[in-house]
Amino acid sequence: MKLVQTSKLPFTGVSHNEEIKKKVFLEKEVIPKLMMFSETIFKPGQSVGAHKHETMHEVFYITKGKAEFVINGQKIKVKKGDCITIEAGEEHSQINSYNKNVNWLYFGISTD
């Protein structure tokens, strides 16, 4: 059993853009194959450039606002309540091109 009081966790920069802040609820391997479970806040105009993870699936659940993902060249608009899965090896980027913050919960699962 592990209890995490998320309100006491610090915000840190995401690995792809230090200006974008996240709280890491669970770190790598707390659960087998779990890479992380986090909450992220993207301010208007913030973005993460195109990248991919060869050995990790990612799942994003939008809890507030709207954003745009580009997955393998396809633009997808997401909003509160949407859940999007990125498979290992898929190139993806994210941008908040709107005038309000967008928040999401996300986690990664290792394929190896």
Mean pLDDT (whole number) for 56-76? 98
Domain ranges of the chain: 14-110
Handedness of CA 24, 27, 30, 35 (dihedral sign): positive
Q: Report the 10 Å Cβ neighbour count for 46.
A: 20
* Per-residue pLDDT tens over the stretch 35-51: 999 999 999 999 999 99
The CATH architecture one would assign to domain 14-110 is Sandwich (2.60)
pLDDT of residue 5: 96
